Amino acid sequence: MSEASLIGLFAATVSFGALLYLAALGELFSEKVGVLNLGVEGMMAVGAVTAFMAAMETGNPWVALVVAIAAGALVATVHGLFTVVLGAEQVVSGLSLTILGVGLAAYLGKGYVGRPPRAELVPVDWGPLSEVRWLGPVLFGQSPIVYLAVLSGVASWFVLNRTRVGLALRAAGESASTTDVAGHSVVALRLSGVAIGGGLAGASGAYLTLSVTPQWAEGLTAGRGWIAVALVIFGAWRPGRVAVGALLFGGTLALKTRLQTFGVEFSPILLSMLPYLLTIGVLVVISIRARNRPSPAPAALGTAYRREER
């Protein structure tokens, strides 16, 4: 096992971890305001295809990233309108959003399959820091979206825990009626949280087509949106813990692509299953541990609120 192989593994772990972290942060925002959104996979797919399309048409990867964030937020808002405004069942709406998003992405991207990218988000050059042994290629040779994920995590923690806006967002997910009595619009807060979550999921999808695999193909998200949903539970709805979980699961995704470079013979089918087996195992362990403990989930998660019911 060479040093170069290990460095490559750690660098890929950080890269995949950032991919999962952006999507998981988006789901965390949505759930913090009381809206369960199982459409992360669909929003990621829409973000991925719109980013690639925008990059092809404009030649500017930053414009493509903005387009993907806007597209993800727009798709998420559809879920918000059904669940927050109309009071639709959140699980059904979220699953429908996944099907809609994946199908819409496949339709929009038909003319872009197999085409070489016109613009990519290349790794940031940090000068001497990039030359530091081990740390350089692992931490200072990543795509700009990796650093965006780190900043998003810090900003999310600060907003949710240190600002009045964050307090109002959390209150909407804990006790909507109390939030309403305090003079805040539950509908506006929940729609905002859902839209922010969609934008972050769209950015995660853009990372796929602008950096990780700069091309478009159907099924590119490959179930990573479902891992992001599980990460929120794994991290107990806390941005810091979710980051740790993202690195753990990112490591399994990186291992799947690099284990054979270590000279280890392993079934590629089992390697593909590894991240999802870990997801199921983590959820089972968390469920068992939570039997005799109060749930850290927002109290009003998944519950629609109608003002006239007060």
Q: Determine, yes or no, domain membership for 309.
A: no
Q: What pLDDT digit, counting tens, does each position of 109-167 carry?
A: 999 998 999 999 999 888 888 888 888 989 999 999 999 999 999 999 999 999 999 99
Q: CATH code at 128?
A: 1.10.3470
Return the pLDDT at 268: 66
CA angle 202, 206, 209 (to 5 degrees): 145
Q: Determine, yes or no, domain membership for 35.
A: yes
Q: How far apart are CA 138 and CA 126, in angstroms?
A: 12
Q: Determine, yes or no, domain membership for 224.
A: yes
Total domains in the fold of the chain: 1
Span 79-105, mean pLDDT? 95
Higher-confidence residue of 263 and 62: namely 62
CB 137 within 8 A of CB 4: no
Q: Determine, yes or no, domain membership for 308.
A: no
Span 82-95, mean pLDDT? 95
Checking if the pLDDT of 246 tops 90, the result is yes
Residue range(s) defining the domain that contains residue 137: 3-301
Return the pLDDT at 226: 92
CB 58 within 8 A of CB 119: yes
Three-class HEC string of the chain = CCHHHHHHHHHHHHHHHHHHHHHHHHHHHHHHCCCCCCCHHHHHHHHHHHHHHHHHHHCCHHHHHHHHHHHHHHHHHHHHHHHHHCCCCHHHHHHHHHHHHHHHHHHHCHHHCCCCCCCCCCCCCCHHHHHCCCHHHHHCCCCHHHHHHHHHHHHHHHHHHHCHHHHHHHHHHHCHHHHHHCCCCHHHHHHHHHHHHHHHHHHHHHHHHHHHCCCCCCCCCCCHHHHHHHHHHHCCCCHHHHHHHHHHHHHHHHHHHHHHHHCCCCCHHHHHHHHHHHHHHHHHHHHHHHHHCCCCCCCCCCCCCCHHHC
Checking if the pLDDT of 274 tops 80, the result is no
Return the pLDDT at 261: 63
Return the pLDDT at 20: 96
Q: What pLDDT digit, counting tens, does each position of 159-199 carry?
A: 999 999 999 999 999 999 999 999 999 999 999 999 999 99
Return the pLDDT at 309: 44
Q: What pLDDT digit, counting tens, does each position of 277-304 carry?
A: 877 887 787 778 777 777 788 999 999 9
Return the pLDDT at 114: 87
Q: Determine, yes or no, domain membership for 215.
A: yes
- C-alpha dist (Å) from residue 111 to 43, 53, 130, 171: 20, 9, 38, 45
Q: Determine, yes or no, domain membership for 310.
A: no
- C-alpha dist (Å) from residue 223 to 24, 98, 122, 158, 253: 13, 10, 25, 29, 11
Q: Determine, yes or no, domain membership for 94.
A: yes
Checking if the pLDDT of 11 tops 70, the result is yes
Return the pLDDT at 263: 64
Higher-confidence residue of 289 and 250: namely 250
Place of tokens 């949106």: 225
Q: What is the mean pLDDT of the chain?
A: 90
Q: Determine, yes or no, domain membership for 307.
A: no
